[in-house]
């Protein structure tokens, strides 16, 4: 490819404040940038991202004082923690920018001068409600009951002379721009929120200076040495100073880029930053991608509550790749997500150990037995194989589109449908029977179809689980330093090369036991045994065979599944029981299965229970489940049986 033909992808994370240690929230944004860059590299693009530390301002000075340190020593330490953390989370391909870097300071000063010369900065007197936590003034209208809406603290009323950026002049232009560019800020809810901010009319010109009498820890204004620059004006410019500023070669090559932030800093990115770019005569960024908050068990993470999730500890305990998978799968980009070790374990056990890990382990051990771990020559594909090939190409293409479009959770869910389809294909083709019958040609075709599909899955997972993907690829006999996912690789199924040597076994994702369950199990052992009762839980009293025979337990196929509109834990299932018709049954499976994952599965259910109403919807029966290590699992017949078949 010629140099000019290479396309570029540039993205930034927020430039994090160094007043506190990095935690799960910072790590998520940074992992997302890392994964997107990896995806774009897979697609053959030249790509990297910028992250860094925001080191000026009141907030930092206060944190340093609290710690008994000078600001510079303090920011060096905390910035160091961020810099050390990223490689341990598998994060690569980035530049780490610090706002105290002299190069950055020079670029900020030259851009301030440019805006000043253009007449967009003026000197005026001002009095406003200043929140130290947010590092900004609030107007009367923006306060909630007189308190800062973010920190719920009373801001300080400050009157002083300052420099102002003529933001109000550009507000109508910005409103028009956001309205006419529907995906400039995405997902949609944040675009609506940004438009709402412009609508309310609470935005004035932006105070962009702090008098040195109050704050010296900042970049001096080039046109008045009595003032330093407002920390946001300084920090936002990192996105272009990291490219060498508007005159830098990288700026010409990589700008405009993409931004990635959480909902807390929507306003500076959706309002201040585009207006700053416009005033400086620079092209606007491509998209502002806004995600929700990671909560710790539904509660905001905070030091005082002691519920901060340490990403490194989680990665060490559960494996970095599994942890990364969980974060991408669990958070619907844009919405808040709740972190808990239980849900992490459920995901690892269900998606990674059961679905993906099991596929690798069973196929590679069969390959070892049937073909001495060497890829055989396949014969012509039949309809079943072709269906797998078609599904694979569709799944890969959807994955790339969805993942690239920041719909990570959907992208993985879509890919997992294919993982599950491959597991089903193993069951339906029954390679062990082909082997027993000596049908080597057909066996070779089935195994090659499986291996080819597995290889494509591993390729798609490179951005999310870089190490595990590399391991999967190497178990499939491939050890490319620069895997790719474009051109023929993306358009066609192809076949894995014959003769390639495979690993003889695979155990990539170990299962985990839930800590709570362990504790409960111990507690239960310690409890004195209760009188047995037929209603009690645990081991139950004897019943006659006649009593058991009264239960009508049948096999059916789930035709439809959806979430209960009023109960988070419950799924509403439509199950086809053949001659007995289709029934609606409610089941508490929502924590363990997505609705999509259940469609077409056969299950066992008791049909003659009295109908029950759960939060407004009727359940006509009960689906049978068992308590697995990672949570609830469905009871399924070993092979497909006719719907409506009785269980005895
Ligand atoms: N310094 C500013 C950003 C300047 S950008 C020019 C700042 N820093 S911050 O340290 O507070 O980082 C905020 C960002 O950290 C969020 O936008 C998000 O990317 C990440 N997160 C911090 N806590 C978070 C969660 N609980 N959940 C998800 N991400 C959050 O604001």
- What six digits make up the tokens of 132? 């130290």
* CB-CB neighbours of 219 under 10 Å: 23
621: left (phi over 0), alpha (psi -120 to 50) or beta: left
* CB-CB neighbours of 128 under 10 Å: 20
Whether residue 75 contacts residue 18, with contact meaning beta carbons closer than 8 Å, is answered with yes
**532-550 burial, b if ≥16 CB within 10 A, otherwise e?**
eeeeeeeeeeeeeeeeeee
pLDDT at 579: 81
Whether residue 597 contacts residue 616, with contact meaning beta carbons closer than 8 Å, is answered with no
Rounded mean pLDDT, 538-565:
79
Query: Among residues 562, 565, 588, which one has the least CA distance to residue 575?
Result: 562
Strand partners for 163: 123
Pocket-testing residue among 15, 25, 108, 238, ligand 1, by greatest number of atoms within 8 A of Cβ: 25
CA 262 / ligand 1 centre spacing (Å)? 6
Separation of alpha carbons 33 and 517, rounded Å: 35
Please give the share of the chain, as a percent, with pLDDT higher than 90: 72
Task: Evaluate if residue 24 carries a pLDDT over 50.
Answer: yes
CA 99 / ligand 1 centre spacing (Å)? 16
In this structure, are strands 299-300 and 294-296 parallel, antiparallel, or unpaired? antiparallel
Task: Evaluate if residue 21 carries a pLDDT over 80.
Answer: yes
pLDDT at 134: 80
Between 78 and 151, where is the model more confident? 78
Q: In whole angstroms, how far apart are CA 159 and each of 133, 137, 521, 528?
A: 18, 11, 63, 70
pLDDT at 383: 98
Residue 606 DSSP SS3: strand
Q: In whole angstroms, how far apart are CA 119 and each of 113, 115, 122, 280?
A: 10, 7, 7, 11
Query: Among residues 626, 569, 629, which one has the least CA distance to residue 595?
Result: 569
Whether residue 464 contacts residue 328, with contact meaning beta carbons closer than 8 Å, is answered with yes
- Output the 3-class SS for 234-300: HHHCHHHHCCCCCCCHHHHHHCCCEEEEEHHHHHHHHHHHHHHHHHCCCCCCCEEEEECCEEECCEE
Task: Evaluate if residue 67 carries a pLDDT over 60.
Answer: yes
- What six digits make up the tokens of 608? 């003659």
- What six digits make up the tokens of 466? 């870089």
Query: Among residues 310, 306, 346, which one has the least CA distance to residue 325?
Result: 346
In this structure, are strands 258-262 and 287-291 parallel, antiparallel, or unpaired? parallel
Separation of alpha carbons 18 and 155, rounded Å: 22
- What six digits make up the tokens of 225? 């040495």
Q: Does CATH place domain 545-634 in 2.40.50.140?
A: yes
Q: Report the Cα 594 to chain-centroid distance in Å.
A: 16
Question: What are the domain boundaries of the chain?
Answer: 339-490, 545-634
**Residues 313, 336, 264, 155, CA torsion sign:** negative
- What six digits make up the tokens of 188? 């949609």
Task: Evaluate if residue 88 carries a pLDDT over 80.
Answer: yes
pLDDT at 541: 64
* CB-CB neighbours of 427 under 10 Å: 11
Show the ligand 1 pocket: residues with CB < 6 angstroms: 14-17, 25-26, 28-29, 54, 235-236, 238, 261-262, 264-265, 293-294, 301
CA 26 / ligand 1 centre spacing (Å)? 6
Whether residue 636 contacts residue 521, with contact meaning beta carbons closer than 8 Å, is answered with no
353-383 pLDDT, tens per residue? 999 999 999 999 999 999 999 999 999 999 9
pLDDT at 630: 64
Q: In whole angstroms, how far apart are CA 278 and each of 70, 259, 281?
A: 37, 16, 5
Atom 6, ligand 1: which residue's CA is nearest?
236
Helices (H) and strands (E) in the chain, counts: 24, 25
- What six digits make up the tokens of 405? 């479009």
Residue length, the chain?
648
- What six digits make up the tokens of 22? 């990095």
Query: Among residues 234, 174, 233, 166, which one has the least CA distance to residue 205?
Result: 166
Phi/psi at 224 (nearest 5 deg)? Answer: -160, 105
pLDDT band of residue 8 (cuts 50, 70, 90) is: very high
Pocket-testing residue among 26, 30, 274, 406, ligand 1, by greatest number of atoms within 8 A of Cβ: 26
Q: In whole angstroms, how far apart are CA 523 and each of 468, 518, 520, 528?
A: 36, 9, 5, 10
Rounded mean pLDDT, 275-295:
97
CA 261 / ligand 1 centre spacing (Å)? 7
CA 365 / ligand 1 centre spacing (Å)? 45
Catalytic residues: 23, 26, 131, 134, 148, 151, 300, 303
483-511 pLDDT, tens per residue? 899 999 999 999 999 999 999 999 999 99
Atom 9, ligand 1: which residue's CA is nearest?
16
Q: Which residues contact 343 (CB under 8 A, 6 or more apart)?
A: 326, 330, 591
pLDDT band of residue 474 (cuts 50, 70, 90) is: very high
Separation of alpha carbons 393 and 385, rounded Å: 13
Pocket-testing residue among 100, 232, 264, 294, ligand 1, by greatest number of atoms within 8 A of Cβ: 264
pLDDT band of residue 320 (cuts 50, 70, 90) is: very high
Q: Which of 323-327, 346-350, 497-501, 510-514 has the lowest mean pLDDT?
A: 510-514
- Output the 3-class SS for 170-217: HHHHHHHHHHHCCCCEECHHHHHHHHHHHHHCCCCCEECEEECCCCCC
Between 296 and 631, where is the model more confident? 296
89-112 pLDDT, tens per residue? 999 999 999 999 999 999 999 999
Burial of 83 (0-12, 13-18, 19+ CB in 10 A): middle
pLDDT at 120: 97
If residue 108 lies in a helix (H) or strand (E), which one and from where to where? helix 102-117
pLDDT at 521: 47
Task: Evaluate if residue 531 carries a pLDDT over 50.
Answer: no
Q: In whole angstroms, how far apart are CA 189 and each of 266, 290, 640?
A: 11, 9, 44
If residue 633 lies in a helix (H) or strand (E), which one and from where to where? strand 631-634
Q: Which of 114-128, 156-170, 364-378 has the highest average model confidence (pLDDT)? A: 364-378
Whether residue 303 contacts residue 157, with contact meaning beta carbons closer than 8 Å, is answered with no
* CATH classification code of 339-490: 1.10.730.10
Task: Evaluate if residue 625 carries a pLDDT over 80.
Answer: yes
Separation of alpha carbons 371 and 374, rounded Å: 6
Separation of alpha carbons 405 and 379, rounded Å: 38
Rounded mean pLDDT, 188-209:
90
**Residues 223, 227, 230, 235, CA torsion sign:** positive
Task: Evaluate if residue 22 carries a pLDDT over 70.
Answer: yes
């Amino acid at each position: 490819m010629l140099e000019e033909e290479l396309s570029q992808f540039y993205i930034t994370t927020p430039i994090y404040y160094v007043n506190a240690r990095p935690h799960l929230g910072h790590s998520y944004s940074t992992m997302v940038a890392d994964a997107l860059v990896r995806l774009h590299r897979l697609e053959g693009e030249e790509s990297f991202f910028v992250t860094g530390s925001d080191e000026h301002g009141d907030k930092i000075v206060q944190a340093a004082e609290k710690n008994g340190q000078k600001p510079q020593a303090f920011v060096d330490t905390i910035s160091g923690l961020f810099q050390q953390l990223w490689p341990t989370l598998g994060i690569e391909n980035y530049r780490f920018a610090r706002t105290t870097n002299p190069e950055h300071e020079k670029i900020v000063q030259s851009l301030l001068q440019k805006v000043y010369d253009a007449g967009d900065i003026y000197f005026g007197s001002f009095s406003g409600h200043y929140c130290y936590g947010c590092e900004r003034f609030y107007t009367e209208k923006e306060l909630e009951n007189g308190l800062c809406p973010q920190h719920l603290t009373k801001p300080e009323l400050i009157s002083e002379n300052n420099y102002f950026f003529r933001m109000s002049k550009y507000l109508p232009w910005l409103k028009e721009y956001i309205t006419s560019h529907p995906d400039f800020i995405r997902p949609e809810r944040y675009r609506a929120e940004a438009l709402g901010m412009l609508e309310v009319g609470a935005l004035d010109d932006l105070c962009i200076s702090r008098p040195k009498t109050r704050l010296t820890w900042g970049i001096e204004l080039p046109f008045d040495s009595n003032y330093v620059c407002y920390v946001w004006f300084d920090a936002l410019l990192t996105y272009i100073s990291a490219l060498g500023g508007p005159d830098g070669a990288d700026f010409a090559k990589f700008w405009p880029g993409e931004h990635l932030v959480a909902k807390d800093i929507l306003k500076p990115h959706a309002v201040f930053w585009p207006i700053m770019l416009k005033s400086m005569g620079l092209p606007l960024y491509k998209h502002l991608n806004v995600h929700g908050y990671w909560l710790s068990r539904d509660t905001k993470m905070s030091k005082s509550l002691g519920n901060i999730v340490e990403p490194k500890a989680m990665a060490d305990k559960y494996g970095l790749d599994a942890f990364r998978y969980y974060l991408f799968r669990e958070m619907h980009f844009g919405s808040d997500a709740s972190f808990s070790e239980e849900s992490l374990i459920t995901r690892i056990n269900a998606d990674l150990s059961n679905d993906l890990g099991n596929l690798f382990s069973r196929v590679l051990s069969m390959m070892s037995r049937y073909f001495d771990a060497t890829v055989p020559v396949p014969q012509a594909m039949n309809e079943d194989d072709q269906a797998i090939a078609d599904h694979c190409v569709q799944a890969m293409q959807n994955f790339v589109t969805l993942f690239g479009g920041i719909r990570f959770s959907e992208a993985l869910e879509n890919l997992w449908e294919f993982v599950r389809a491959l597991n089903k294909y193993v069951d339906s083709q029954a390679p062990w029977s082909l082997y027993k019958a000596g049908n080597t040609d057909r066996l070779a075709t089935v195994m090659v179809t499986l291996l080819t599909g597995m290889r494509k899955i591993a390729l798609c997972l490179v951005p999310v689980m870089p190490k595990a993907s590399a391991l999967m690829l190497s178990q499939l006999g491939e050890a490319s330093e620069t895997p790719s996912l474009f051109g023929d690789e993306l358009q066609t199924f192809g076949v894995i090369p014959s003769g390639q040597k495979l690993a003889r076994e695979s155990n990539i994702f170990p299962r985990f036991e839930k800590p709570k369950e362990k504790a409960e199990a111990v507690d239960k052992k310690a409890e004195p045994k209760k009188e047995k009762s037929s209603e009690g839980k645990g081991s139950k009293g004897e019943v006659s065979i006649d009593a058991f025979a009264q239960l009508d337990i049948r096999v059916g196929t789930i035709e439809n599944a959806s979430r209960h509109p009023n109960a988070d834990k419950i799924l509403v299932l439509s199950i086809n029981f053949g001659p007995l018709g289709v029934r609606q049954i409610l089941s508490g499976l929502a924590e363990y299965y997505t609705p999509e994952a259940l469609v077409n599965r056969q299950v066992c259910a008791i049909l003659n229970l009295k109908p029950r109403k759960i939060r407004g919807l009727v359940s006509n029966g009960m689906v049978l489940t068992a308590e697995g290590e990672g949570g609830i699992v469905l009871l399924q017949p070993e092979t497909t049986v006719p719907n409506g078949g009785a269980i005895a």
